[in-house]
Amino acid sequence: MDERTHSFAAFLKKRFPGRRVRKIPIDAGFTCPNRDGTLGYDGCVFCDPYAAGPVATAGWTIERQVEMRLRRSPGTSFIAYFQANCNTHAPQDELRRRYQAALGHPRVVGLAVATRPDALPAPTLALLQELAGRTWLSVELGLQSIHERSLAWLRRRHTYAQFVSAFVELRRRGIDVVVHLIVGIPGETRGDMRATIAAVNALRPAGVKFHLLHVLRGSELQARHERGELPLLQREEYVDILCDLLERLDPGIVVHRLAVDREAGLFIAPAWALDKAAVLRAVTGELRRRGGFQGRLARASAPGPAVDKRAPML
Protein backbone atom coordinates (compact mmCIF):
# COMPACT_ATOMS: atom_id res chain seq x y z
CA MET A 1 0.00 0.00 0.00
CA ASP A 2 2.83 2.34 0.75
CA GLU A 3 3.41 3.64 -2.72
CA ARG A 4 -0.27 4.39 -3.43
CA THR A 5 -1.43 5.67 -0.06
CA HIS A 6 0.18 7.81 2.61
CA SER A 7 0.43 4.94 5.07
CA PHE A 8 0.93 5.03 8.83
CA ALA A 9 3.90 2.66 8.47
CA ALA A 10 5.63 5.14 6.15
CA PHE A 11 4.74 7.99 8.48
CA LEU A 12 6.33 6.18 11.46
CA LYS A 13 9.54 5.60 9.51
CA LYS A 14 9.84 9.32 8.81
CA ARG A 15 8.76 10.44 12.27
CA PHE A 16 11.03 8.00 14.15
CA PRO A 17 13.96 7.46 11.76
CA GLY A 18 16.09 4.40 12.42
CA ARG A 19 13.68 3.03 15.03
CA ARG A 20 11.13 0.27 14.93
CA VAL A 21 7.94 1.73 16.42
CA ARG A 22 4.67 -0.13 17.01
CA LYS A 23 1.41 0.58 18.82
CA ILE A 24 0.41 -1.18 22.04
CA PRO A 25 -3.38 -1.39 22.43
CA ILE A 26 -4.21 -0.49 26.02
CA ASP A 27 -7.34 -0.98 28.09
CA ALA A 28 -6.82 1.73 30.70
CA GLY A 29 -9.98 0.91 32.66
CA PHE A 30 -12.13 3.79 31.45
CA THR A 31 -15.83 3.59 30.69
CA CYS A 32 -17.76 5.50 28.03
CA PRO A 33 -20.48 8.15 28.34
CA ASN A 34 -22.49 6.19 25.79
CA ARG A 35 -22.43 3.10 28.01
CA ASP A 36 -22.22 4.29 31.62
CA GLY A 37 -25.53 6.15 31.58
CA THR A 38 -24.14 9.65 31.02
CA LEU A 39 -25.68 9.56 27.53
CA GLY A 40 -27.01 6.00 27.35
CA TYR A 41 -26.39 2.43 28.48
CA ASP A 42 -26.49 0.56 25.19
CA GLY A 43 -23.53 2.17 23.37
CA CYS A 44 -22.90 2.50 19.65
CA VAL A 45 -24.52 -0.30 17.64
CA PHE A 46 -21.15 -1.66 16.46
CA CYS A 47 -19.41 -1.62 19.85
CA ASP A 48 -18.36 -4.96 21.37
CA PRO A 49 -18.17 -5.77 25.11
CA TYR A 50 -14.45 -4.87 25.14
CA ALA A 51 -15.29 -1.45 23.64
CA ALA A 52 -12.73 -1.89 20.84
CA GLY A 53 -9.94 -2.62 23.31
CA PRO A 54 -7.57 -5.57 23.67
CA VAL A 55 -9.24 -8.81 24.73
CA ALA A 56 -6.34 -10.87 26.08
CA THR A 57 -5.11 -8.14 28.45
CA ALA A 58 -8.45 -6.61 29.45
CA GLY A 59 -8.46 -5.88 33.17
CA TRP A 60 -4.66 -5.84 33.51
CA THR A 61 -2.96 -2.78 34.95
CA ILE A 62 -1.61 -0.33 32.40
CA GLU A 63 1.96 -1.02 33.57
CA ARG A 64 1.53 -4.77 33.12
CA GLN A 65 0.07 -4.35 29.60
CA VAL A 66 3.02 -2.16 28.59
CA GLU A 67 5.67 -4.35 30.22
CA MET A 68 4.34 -7.52 28.57
CA ARG A 69 4.66 -6.00 25.08
CA LEU A 70 8.08 -4.49 25.82
CA ARG A 71 9.37 -7.85 27.06
CA ARG A 72 8.09 -9.61 23.93
CA SER A 73 9.65 -7.08 21.54
CA PRO A 74 13.14 -6.09 22.62
CA GLY A 75 14.55 -3.30 20.48
CA THR A 76 11.11 -1.96 19.58
CA SER A 77 9.71 1.35 20.82
CA PHE A 78 6.00 1.81 21.31
CA ILE A 79 3.15 4.26 21.08
CA ALA A 80 0.72 3.49 23.89
CA TYR A 81 -2.69 3.39 22.22
CA PHE A 82 -5.39 4.02 24.82
CA GLN A 83 -8.01 2.23 22.78
CA ALA A 84 -10.77 0.69 24.89
CA ASN A 85 -13.78 2.84 25.72
CA CYS A 86 -13.50 6.63 25.99
CA ASN A 87 -10.02 7.55 27.15
CA THR A 88 -10.73 11.12 28.26
CA HIS A 89 -13.79 10.26 30.35
CA ALA A 90 -12.36 10.97 33.82
CA PRO A 91 -11.16 13.93 35.90
CA GLN A 92 -7.90 15.52 34.81
CA ASP A 93 -5.80 14.12 37.69
CA GLU A 94 -6.96 10.60 36.94
CA LEU A 95 -6.24 11.04 33.23
CA ARG A 96 -2.75 12.30 34.02
CA ARG A 97 -2.06 9.34 36.29
CA ARG A 98 -3.16 6.78 33.70
CA TYR A 99 -1.35 8.39 30.76
CA GLN A 100 1.79 8.67 32.87
CA ALA A 101 1.58 4.97 33.77
CA ALA A 102 2.37 4.26 30.11
CA LEU A 103 4.60 7.24 29.35
CA GLY A 104 6.81 6.49 32.36
CA HIS A 105 8.63 3.82 30.38
CA PRO A 106 11.53 5.13 28.25
CA ARG A 107 10.65 2.85 25.33
CA VAL A 108 7.16 4.38 25.12
CA VAL A 109 7.72 7.25 22.68
CA GLY A 110 4.18 8.44 22.18
CA LEU A 111 0.55 8.30 23.11
CA ALA A 112 -2.60 7.80 21.02
CA VAL A 113 -5.83 8.59 22.86
CA ALA A 114 -9.15 7.35 21.47
CA THR A 115 -12.14 9.39 22.52
CA ARG A 116 -15.51 10.92 21.62
CA PRO A 117 -16.04 14.51 20.44
CA ASP A 118 -18.25 15.25 23.46
CA ALA A 119 -15.69 14.13 26.06
CA LEU A 120 -13.11 16.91 25.78
CA PRO A 121 -13.76 19.59 28.42
CA ALA A 122 -11.33 22.51 28.78
CA PRO A 123 -9.15 20.96 31.56
CA THR A 124 -8.71 17.80 29.46
CA LEU A 125 -7.77 19.85 26.39
CA ALA A 126 -5.20 21.69 28.53
CA LEU A 127 -3.72 18.38 29.73
CA LEU A 128 -3.52 17.02 26.18
CA GLN A 129 -1.84 20.22 25.02
CA GLU A 130 0.74 19.84 27.77
CA LEU A 131 1.37 16.19 26.77
CA ALA A 132 1.72 17.16 23.09
CA GLY A 133 4.55 19.43 24.16
CA ARG A 134 6.56 16.57 25.63
CA THR A 135 5.73 13.46 23.59
CA TRP A 136 4.27 12.38 20.26
CA LEU A 137 0.52 12.64 20.80
CA SER A 138 -2.42 11.85 18.61
CA VAL A 139 -6.09 12.05 19.58
CA GLU A 140 -8.25 9.50 17.74
CA LEU A 141 -11.67 11.02 17.38
CA GLY A 142 -14.71 8.98 16.34
CA LEU A 143 -16.76 10.67 13.64
CA GLN A 144 -17.85 7.74 11.39
CA SER A 145 -19.95 9.97 9.09
CA ILE A 146 -20.86 13.64 8.71
CA HIS A 147 -24.53 12.71 8.14
CA GLU A 148 -26.84 13.09 11.12
CA ARG A 149 -29.12 10.24 10.05
CA SER A 150 -26.09 7.92 9.98
CA LEU A 151 -24.90 9.11 13.39
CA ALA A 152 -28.40 8.39 14.71
CA TRP A 153 -28.44 4.93 13.07
CA LEU A 154 -25.07 4.16 14.67
CA ARG A 155 -26.45 5.44 18.02
CA ARG A 156 -23.42 7.69 18.45
CA ARG A 157 -25.35 10.29 20.49
CA HIS A 158 -23.26 13.19 19.23
CA THR A 159 -23.69 15.46 16.23
CA TYR A 160 -21.35 16.43 13.41
CA ALA A 161 -21.30 19.98 14.83
CA GLN A 162 -19.97 18.58 18.12
CA PHE A 163 -17.26 16.74 16.22
CA VAL A 164 -16.20 19.91 14.36
CA SER A 165 -16.13 21.89 17.59
CA ALA A 166 -13.91 19.28 19.33
CA PHE A 167 -11.67 19.02 16.28
CA VAL A 168 -11.13 22.78 16.13
CA GLU A 169 -10.35 22.97 19.86
CA LEU A 170 -7.74 20.20 19.52
CA ARG A 171 -6.10 21.74 16.45
CA ARG A 172 -6.09 25.18 18.05
CA ARG A 173 -3.85 23.63 20.69
CA GLY A 174 -1.56 22.03 18.10
CA ILE A 175 -2.83 18.51 18.84
CA ASP A 176 -2.90 16.04 15.93
CA VAL A 177 -6.20 14.33 15.28
CA VAL A 178 -6.93 11.00 13.60
CA VAL A 179 -10.53 10.74 12.39
CA HIS A 180 -12.36 7.41 12.42
CA LEU A 181 -14.80 6.76 9.55
CA ILE A 182 -17.13 3.84 8.80
CA VAL A 183 -17.69 2.59 5.26
CA GLY A 184 -20.91 0.74 4.50
CA ILE A 185 -23.43 2.42 6.80
CA PRO A 186 -26.86 1.31 5.53
CA GLY A 187 -28.59 4.06 3.56
CA GLU A 188 -25.41 5.95 2.70
CA THR A 189 -24.88 6.51 -1.01
CA ARG A 190 -21.54 6.87 -2.77
CA GLY A 191 -22.29 10.61 -2.81
CA ASP A 192 -22.84 10.65 0.97
CA MET A 193 -19.48 8.97 1.57
CA ARG A 194 -17.71 11.31 -0.83
CA ALA A 195 -19.27 14.24 1.05
CA THR A 196 -17.74 12.90 4.29
CA ILE A 197 -14.32 12.74 2.60
CA ALA A 198 -14.72 16.29 1.26
CA ALA A 199 -15.52 17.49 4.78
CA VAL A 200 -12.50 15.64 6.17
CA ASN A 201 -10.27 17.19 3.49
CA ALA A 202 -11.50 20.63 4.52
CA LEU A 203 -10.68 19.95 8.16
CA ARG A 204 -7.19 18.59 7.34
CA PRO A 205 -6.68 16.07 10.16
CA ALA A 206 -3.30 14.41 10.59
CA GLY A 207 -4.82 11.01 9.80
CA VAL A 208 -7.88 8.89 9.10
CA LYS A 209 -8.88 5.32 9.89
CA PHE A 210 -11.33 3.58 7.58
CA HIS A 211 -13.50 0.91 9.19
CA LEU A 212 -15.71 -1.47 7.29
CA LEU A 213 -19.12 -1.79 8.99
CA HIS A 214 -18.85 -5.26 10.53
CA VAL A 215 -20.53 -7.39 13.18
CA LEU A 216 -18.87 -8.26 16.47
CA ARG A 217 -20.08 -10.69 19.11
CA GLY A 218 -22.09 -8.96 21.83
CA SER A 219 -22.85 -5.84 19.79
CA GLU A 220 -26.30 -4.55 18.87
CA LEU A 221 -25.40 -5.28 15.25
CA GLN A 222 -25.16 -8.98 16.10
CA ALA A 223 -28.87 -9.04 16.95
CA ARG A 224 -29.77 -7.12 13.77
CA HIS A 225 -27.57 -9.42 11.69
CA GLU A 226 -29.21 -12.52 13.18
CA ARG A 227 -32.65 -11.08 12.39
CA GLY A 228 -31.52 -10.61 8.79
CA GLU A 229 -31.91 -6.84 9.05
CA LEU A 230 -28.36 -5.79 8.33
CA PRO A 231 -27.04 -5.31 4.81
CA LEU A 232 -23.26 -5.80 4.73
CA LEU A 233 -20.85 -5.02 1.91
CA GLN A 234 -19.26 -7.71 -0.23
CA ARG A 235 -15.49 -7.50 -0.56
CA GLU A 236 -15.62 -6.21 -4.14
CA GLU A 237 -18.04 -3.44 -3.11
CA TYR A 238 -15.89 -2.42 -0.15
CA VAL A 239 -12.71 -2.34 -2.20
CA ASP A 240 -14.40 -0.33 -4.96
CA ILE A 241 -15.86 2.23 -2.52
CA LEU A 242 -12.65 2.46 -0.50
CA CYS A 243 -10.53 3.14 -3.60
CA ASP A 244 -13.06 5.76 -4.68
CA LEU A 245 -12.69 7.48 -1.29
CA LEU A 246 -8.90 7.12 -1.17
CA GLU A 247 -8.59 8.76 -4.56
CA ARG A 248 -10.53 11.73 -3.17
CA LEU A 249 -8.66 11.94 0.14
CA ASP A 250 -6.10 14.73 0.54
CA PRO A 251 -2.68 13.06 0.04
CA GLY A 252 -1.29 14.90 3.07
CA ILE A 253 -3.56 12.89 5.40
CA VAL A 254 -1.99 9.71 6.81
CA VAL A 255 -4.11 6.57 6.34
CA HIS A 256 -3.88 4.55 9.56
CA ARG A 257 -6.22 1.70 8.68
CA LEU A 258 -8.01 0.18 5.69
CA ALA A 259 -9.07 -3.25 6.91
CA VAL A 260 -10.74 -4.83 9.94
CA ASP A 261 -8.32 -5.71 12.72
CA ARG A 262 -10.21 -7.59 15.48
CA GLU A 263 -9.82 -10.88 17.31
CA ALA A 264 -11.32 -13.76 15.30
CA GLY A 265 -13.20 -14.96 18.40
CA LEU A 266 -15.17 -11.71 18.53
CA PHE A 267 -15.74 -11.42 14.82
CA ILE A 268 -18.99 -12.55 13.16
CA ALA A 269 -19.46 -10.98 9.71
CA PRO A 270 -18.76 -10.41 6.89
CA ALA A 271 -16.47 -13.45 6.91
CA TRP A 272 -14.27 -12.21 4.06
CA ALA A 273 -13.11 -9.25 6.18
CA LEU A 274 -11.17 -11.52 8.56
CA ASP A 275 -8.52 -12.04 5.87
CA LYS A 276 -6.91 -8.66 6.31
CA ALA A 277 -3.97 -9.38 4.00
CA ALA A 278 -6.34 -10.36 1.16
CA VAL A 279 -8.32 -7.14 1.64
CA LEU A 280 -5.17 -5.01 1.52
CA ARG A 281 -3.96 -6.87 -1.57
CA ALA A 282 -7.32 -6.29 -3.24
CA VAL A 283 -7.19 -2.54 -2.47
CA THR A 284 -3.67 -2.27 -3.87
CA GLY A 285 -4.70 -4.27 -6.95
CA GLU A 286 -7.74 -2.09 -7.57
CA LEU A 287 -5.77 1.14 -7.21
CA ARG A 288 -3.18 -0.25 -9.61
CA ARG A 289 -5.88 -1.29 -12.09
CA ARG A 290 -7.29 2.26 -12.02
CA GLY A 291 -3.89 3.91 -12.21
CA GLY A 292 -5.01 5.39 -8.93
CA PHE A 293 -3.43 6.66 -5.74
CA GLN A 294 -4.46 8.64 -2.68
CA GLY A 295 -5.54 12.13 -3.69
CA ARG A 296 -5.58 11.57 -7.46
CA LEU A 297 -9.11 13.00 -7.62
CA ALA A 298 -8.90 15.30 -4.58
CA ARG A 299 -9.77 18.83 -5.46
CA ALA A 300 -8.10 20.03 -2.31
CA SER A 301 -4.71 20.92 -1.41
CA ALA A 302 -1.30 19.85 -2.52
CA PRO A 303 0.45 17.18 -0.42
CA GLY A 304 1.04 18.50 3.05
CA PRO A 305 3.39 17.47 5.81
CA ALA A 306 2.77 14.07 7.41
CA VAL A 307 1.76 15.76 10.63
CA ASP A 308 -0.21 18.74 9.46
CA LYS A 309 0.10 21.79 11.67
CA ARG A 310 -1.98 24.05 9.43
CA ALA A 311 -5.19 25.51 10.75
CA PRO A 312 -8.34 23.72 9.60
CA MET A 313 -10.25 25.44 6.80
CA LEU A 314 -13.78 25.97 8.10
Q: Where do contacts with ligand SF4 occur on this chain (CB under 6 A)?
A: 32, 34-35, 43-44, 47, 51-52, 85-86, 116, 142
d(CA 24, CA 208): 18
- Give the nearer residue to ligand SF4 in terms of CB position, either 207 or 295: 207
Residues contacting 276, CB < 8 A, separation 6+: 259, 260, 261
Closest CA to 36 of 119, 132, 113: 119
Q: How far is the CB of 211 from ligand SF4 (least distance, A)?
A: 10
Query: Which CB atom, from 12 or from 47, has the smaller least distance to ligand SF4?
Result: 47
Closer by beta carbon to ligand SF4, 4 or else 156: 156
Nearer Cβ to ligand SF4 (51/193): 51
Minimal distance, residue 30 CB to ligand SF4, in Å: 9
CB of 70 to ligand SF4, least distance (A): 26
Residue 85 gets the label, from left (phi > 0), alpha (psi -120 to 50) or beta, of left
87/72 Cα distance (integer angstroms): 25
Closest approach of ligand SF4 to the CB of residue 32, in Å: 3
For ligand SF4, the closer CB: 33 or 295: 33
Smallest distance from the beta carbon of 174 to ligand SF4, in angstroms? 25
